[in-house]
Each structure stands twice: as structure tokens, then as C-alpha cells.
Amino acid sequence: MRGPPIRPSVVLVLLAWLAGCVAGEAPPGSDALSPEAPEAAYVGDEACASCHEDYYVSYHRTGMGRSLSRFDAASAPEAFPAPPVRHEGTDFYYEAFVRADTLFQREYRLDASGETLYERVHPVEWVIGSGNHTRSYLASVNGHLTEMPLTWYVQRSRWDLSPSYDQENLRFSRPVVAECMACHNGFSDHSRYTFDHYRDVAAGITCERCHGPGGAHVDLRLAGLGPAAGGPDSSIVHPARLAREEQLSVCRQCHLSGTTVFRTGETPSTYRPGDPLEAHRSIFVTAEQASDPERFGIASHALRLEKSACFRESDMTCTTCHDPHAPVADLGNDHFNAACAGCHGAGKGDAPVAVCGRGGAHTEAEAMTGDCVTCHLRSSGASDIPHVTFTDHWIRRELPPAVAPEDIERAFLRPDPFRLVRATAPPDAGDARARGLGLLEEAAAYFAFYDEAHALPAYLDSAVVRAEAGLRTGADHAAARLALGRALLEQGRTGEAVAALSEAASAHAEDVFIRYWLGAALLQADRPGAAAAALGRAAEMQPAFAEARLKQAEALYAAARFAEAEAAWLSGLAEDPVHHPESWNDLGFLYLETGRFDEARRLFDRALALDPDLVQALVNAATLRLQTQDWEGAISLLERAVGKQADFAPALGNLAIAYAELGRRDEAIGALRALLGYHPNDLRAQALLDRLLTAPPEGAGSGSGS
């Protein structure tokens, strides 16, 4: 989105270019149905321990029970000292280290001689991941949780960039959204309509994720009440007693990954064991993911298992093979082979399933002594997590050869769009409105896939066409309305986006994200007053949504309401002072324009301490140095800016001024010619170039700003 116009200031060096505020960036992948914490019937695992001690102790040794934890230096499996890891695209180095039993991650950059040019250090608040495959790390700033750049890859015993960071380095700012937290951890107290704010965080996936809220069950047991002898216990969910589809839904809530669209009124925290998953959400996967014989993701268990003849031709569920209360490592191959023999062994019923026919086995009994898992389940690199070898749950007679993790092709680098297909049952298509709801869910899925995974324009067309068709049936879905508005905005159809988001805000007045994007669209439509009102309302509805307050500040600035803009920037940055360096620059620019130079310098420095490549902050900090005739200091900053964005007119123009003041005439001319090559209609640059070309060479350093 466009920022405020760049314009010269009367108190600065004559002809100096100002960088202005950073162009408004969209906040990270917005989920229009972020959850609130579940209601009070949840009691936590400790309440289970007194009656189910064996299960409690065993479960908390499983991967699920260890899914989120504090770092413990005494038992940590990571290797230290950790060698630095370089991200090639940004030239940042990362390393992990322990100090006083706290784990830290450090980001830094080196100059040509190996000296540190820049560094930034954050402590680890949480370790996410069981340690069976990976351990990643979360930072917390005022309750805003973000993933950190380094992950410990257990199977390879190595530090490397976190998954997908090699493609896009989000540094310390990748938000831990509610959907991720819901599957990687127990129920946490997420602030609804924020991307990453949590009032409280659980420690590990709890018993209640599979058994449902335990409050009524515990109250009855403490009162000495229970079911009739041998009768079912209706106060708690026992997954083994559920019908097959409901059993599978319990596992699929986290082990069926894809692009998720929640049903109206549902959030990542509202699924209850015993309910069919499709009543809670729709999950979409790429057509290739559904059928690819070789590529699979690390959370694709359900999708791959369903392709197996074993699954289709029996009543098996996940717990046919897995005991969720016991660590997989404790079970061993004999446990899984016995599960296979339960169906494939000799004498199993009147019509036993054919037993293994491996070569060299002379009897049925001998045939069943082999290792079923090794022969019929492929262990290979996963398509979405580097350095991990995982078990593909598609059970087959013949397996494709395994592929090492480092040889897996990155699917989302391809230039052609994917087709999305449903991995869950569609809404009942009994009438037009139900079919319309299906189209709206598809629209939301296509835009989310564009926004979060594969940013090709074709997905925007898919989202718009489906959303408009679905809405014509009379069906409604907040996520689809938001997807329509955002897709139109991405396509540059700003007026249509404003209209679509205005309708969405009327239909879903409580949806903070819709109001936020309405404000963003109004700002792009050059209606800053209306934008400020919409964004202000979003910020009032959810004060922890820092992005809304910061975007409101941009709108207020554009409306020339400078005192209000300052207050909004200060409010948003107090809520989240770390993840928005562009907002520190924006506020500094406001101070610069109003003559508060010392405060402006401090804020530009703060922005650059968070992001040393923020071009606008580099140019604005250089502008202050031009004012004090610190030409060398300005040149150092401006050359960095040009190195990051070669066509940025303010950087090239101010660089030419500084070169000229130092008598470096040829370099000044070169900078201006480069600027005009990108921006041939820049009259200031042409005027300064004409002066330099017509002035005697020996006079070039006598004061081009006079």
C-alpha cells in the first residue's frame, strides 16, 4: 500500500530527497477466524493424574505430551557451541548459545574483514517440538509469540534455518498463529483477532485434546459418582468407543494438514472430540499432494493412510497401530508387526486377508516373521521440513525408492498454480445455498493458499470467481468475504475491494480483521479519514492487535492529523516494540518533518537496530546527517540503501548531493544518471545534473547546495 508522498523539507539541505514513511506492508498471513481460549470445562492434565497415573506418566513421554516446553540446559539435546548458519539471500548469520541457563539466538552481519557490523539477540521463551524430529524456538514480546530463525534438527544433529526460512527469511517476526498453536500445543489463551498474541500458553498437548473437556468427569469422580458397573461413561469421551469416522476425526484434527477453512462460528480451539471433523472445518490440499506416490508432508498421516488398501478394505483406525499413550520408541517393531498380523495372519476369521508373500517364506507362519513396516511403509524425506526422514503412512506392496531430505524438490517454487481439492467431506449439497457455501470455502482456501504458500496471480482469480458465485446463492462466510476483498485489493481493483469489504463489515460487524482490511483498502483508495475510522475501530475492539493501531497511524498521518498519528504510533509500538521497524521509521519521519531532529535520529537508529536493511530508515537517517554536513556519514548510509534498492530515488538523489559536496563530481553525476535511468521525469535530479555538467570541474565541490 502506498505511503505518504515523498517531499522536500524547507529546513533540510536544499534539494535533499526524503524517504518518507515506509510503504504500508500487509501484516503476516491473516486468519479471519482466530480463536479465543476455550470455555471453562477444561481442567488440565494434572487433574487426570490422581486416577490415571500410569497413563499420565507414559503420555507425557510421548511426542504429543512434550510438544511445548521450557528450555532446560541440563537435559537439552542440542549441541553447543553451535556453528553459525548463514542465510545467503540476506547475508545474515545466526547462532544459538546458552548463557546463565537461558537459550538465546543471535543474528549478525560481518564486514569484509570479518568484523561485526550489526547484531541482534533474543532469548528463547519456549521450545516447540517433541524432539523426535525437530526443536524450534519461540520468542515472546508482551505476549506476542514469534518463531525464531534457527531450528535443531534431531535426526541430523545439526542447527539450520527453520523450515521455509531458506526461501523467505522472516527473521524474528514469523507469527505463531492460533491454528499452528492449536496443533503444536495444548489449548492456549489466544487473543482473538490477533495474529500472535497469547494471554497464557499451555505446556504440551493435553489429555483433553483427545478426550474432550474433563471438568464434568472430574467433578463426578471427586463426588464419588461414576457410571453403572460395566456401563459407558458419558462424562468423558473415550475415543475407542466412538464410531470409526469420529475416532478418525480426533486424530485428523492435527494429522490431516492442508489449507484450513473453519466453518462459521468455529475456530482452531472449538473442535470437540466425538464430533465429525467436517462439521468443524474444511481442509483443502493440492491435487498432487493427494495423489503423489512419492512426495508427502510431515503431517500427512491421515491423507496418506486413506490411500492404503488396508484402510479402504477394513475398519482400521489410527489406533489399530498406534497407542497414543505410549512413546513410539517404546513400542518397537514387534508391536507394529503384531498389528499387521492381526489382520493378515493365518486363521483370522472365515475369510482371512492374504498374508505376506515375501520371497523365501515357505509357510504362512514364516511369512509373518518379517518386518512389515520396513517392507510396506516408506521412510523418506518429507516435502515440507528439511533434514527430516519420516514414515509415509501410505501402506503399499511396492514402495518407491526413498529420497534424502536434501534432495526433495521445493514444490512451491514452481511457476504453475496448483489445483486444490477437498480432503474432508463438503457441505451438504442439498440446496443452492449449501453449494454456495462450498464455493465460499473454496474461495477462502484459494486466497489463503496464495497468501501463505504460493503467491501466483491465478489463485486470486480462483478466489474472486468462487466468492462472487457463492455470495449470489445467498450463502455467507466471513473468511470468504475477507478473501474476496483482499483478492480484489491484490489485483489493484481498489474501488471494488472497498465495496466488498464494506459489505463484509456490515454483514460481520464483530470481525476485526475485516475492519482492518477495510481500513487498508480505504487508505489505498486515498480516503485516509475513513480509513482511520475503520482502523481505529478495529484497534478498539482488540487492543492487542498492534497492526491495526499502526495502520491507523499511517491513515491519520495521510489525513494530516499529526498529533493523533503520533499517539497511534506510540500506542501500537508500546504494544509490540520489536516486530515493526517500519513503524519506528514512520514515527521518526513525523518527528523529522516537525523539526524534532534528536527524537527522529533516535527512532531511525531504533528502526535500523531491528532491520539494518530498511531502506527508508537508512535514507532518513542520512538526511539528518546531510543537515549537519556529515557528508561521509550520509554517504555510508546511502550506499547501503542503494545496495538494497538500486532504483530508490531518495537514496540516489541524496547520494549525489553528498558526493558533490565532497567534490566527487563524477560519482555525483553517476548517481544522478542512475536515478534518471529509473525515473526519467524527476525534475530535481535533472536540474542538479545540469548544474554539475555545466559547472567547471574544479568548482564541483564548492557547494552544490548553495
Degrees, nearest 5: CA angle 323-328-331: 75
Q: Summarize pLDDT for 106-154 with one digit per residue, the tens.
A: 999 999 999 999 999 999 999 999 888 999 999 999 999 999 999 999 9
Is pLDDT of 171 > 90? yes
Q: Bridge partners of 260? A: 283
pLDDT above 70: residue 552: yes
Q: Report how far apart, in Å, the C-alpha atoms of 14 and of each of 145, 514, 670, 676 are.
A: 45, 44, 20, 19
- Mean pLDDT across the stretch 638-658? 97
Take residue 604 and report the three cell numbers written for it. 531511525
Over residues 655-659, the mean pLDDT reads 97
Instruction: Assess whether pLDDT exceeds 90 at residue 96.
Output: yes
pLDDT at residue 9 in the model: 29
In whole angstroms, what is the distance from residue 46 CA to residue 490 CA? 48
Q: What is the CA radius of gyration of the chain?
A: 29
Whether 553 contacts 520, CB under 8 Å: no
Percentage of residues in the chain having pLDDT higher than 90: 70
C-alpha grid cell, residue 116: 561485526
The x, y and z cell numbers of residue 75, run together, are: 537435559
CB 37 within 8 A of CB 190: yes
Confidence label for 334 from pLDDT (cuts 50, 70 and 90): confident
Cβ(128)–Cβ(138) below 8 Å: yes
Q: Which pLDDT score, from 0 to 100, does residue 34 have?
A: 38
Q: Does the structure show a pLDDT above 70 at 353?
A: no
pLDDT bin (cut points 50, 70, 90) of residue 23 is: low
User: Within 13 Å, how many C-alpha atoms sit on residue 336's CB side?
Assistant: 20
pLDDT of residue 473 exceeding 60: yes
What's residue 320's pLDDT? 93
- Domain range list for the chain: 1-22+581-588+612-706, 46-218, 243-336+373-425
Q: Is 284 exposed, middle or buried (0-12, 13-18, 19+ CB in 10 A)?
A: buried
- Residue 16: pLDDT band by 50, 70, 90 thresholds? low
Residue reference for cell 506392496: 397
Residue 656 has pLDDT above 80, yes or no: yes
- What band does 22 get if pLDDT is binned at 50, 70 and 90? low
pLDDT, tens digit, 9 for 90 and up, residues 522-539: 999 999 999 999 999 999
Between CA 258 and CA 33 the distance in angstroms is: 16
pTM, rounded to two decimals: 0.89
* The pLDDT of residue 5: 31
The pLDDT of residue 40 is 52
Residue 21 CA to residue 529 CA, distance in Å, equals 18
CA distances to 51, 57, 102 from 607, in Å: 54, 47, 26
Q: Which CATH class is domain 1-22+581-588+612-706?
A: mainly alpha
Q: Quick one: pLDDT at residue 368?
A: 62
Residue 542: phi, psi to the nearest 5?
A: -140, 90
| Range of 226-230, 276-280, 357-361 with top mean pLDDT | 276-280
- Tell me what the mean pLDDT of segment 43-71 comes to: 92
pLDDT at 283: 96
1 closest CA partner among 490, 645, 464 = 490
Q: Residue 224: phi, psi to the nearest 5?
A: 75, 20
pLDDT of residue 362: 56
Mean pLDDT for 578-589 is 98
What residue type is assigned to position 551 of the chain? K
CA distances, 62 to each of 105, 521, 602 (Å): 27, 47, 49
Which percentage of the chain shows pLDDT scores above 70? 89
Grid cell for residue 671: 548517481
The chain-wide mean pLDDT, for the chain, equals: 89
pLDDT bin (cut points 50, 70, 90) of residue 324 is very high
